[in-house]
Amino acid sequence: MKLTVNGEALETAVTTLEALLAALDYEGDWLATAVNSDLVHKARRAEFQLSDGDRIEILSPMQGG
């Protein structure tokens, strides 16, 4: 499946948002995720099915000012 993750093309065999995060070594309760500009709450990531061509944004808080 071809996806765009944070603006970068990615080809993967994962089918859920949670599996994608694990494959990319993202962990923690502080992440925000969006698929095709729609926010996906942490509780829905395990069942959220990805589709070929989806655009995923993974956001994490930054320190600084």
pLDDT of the residue at 30:
85
52, 31, 53: which is closest to 41 by C-alpha? Answer: 31
pLDDT of the residue at 29:
76
Burial class (CB in 10 A: 0-12, 13-18, 19+), 33: buried
User: Does pLDDT of 63 surpass 90?
Assistant: no
pLDDT of the residue at 27:
81
Question: 64 to each of 26, 36, 61, how far by Cα in Å?
Answer: 21, 28, 10
- Find the CATH number of the domain harbouring 54: 3.10.20.30
User: Does pLDDT of 64 surpass 90?
Assistant: no
Domain assignment of residue 64, yes or no:
no
Specify the number of domains making up the chain: 1
Q: Which domain holds residue 29?
A: 2-59
How far is residue 51's CA from residue 42's CA, in Å, rounded to a whole number? 18
pLDDT of the residue at 47:
97
- pLDDT tens figures, 7-53: 999 999 999 999 999 999 988 778 999 999 999 999 999 999 999 99
Domain assignment of residue 65, yes or no:
no
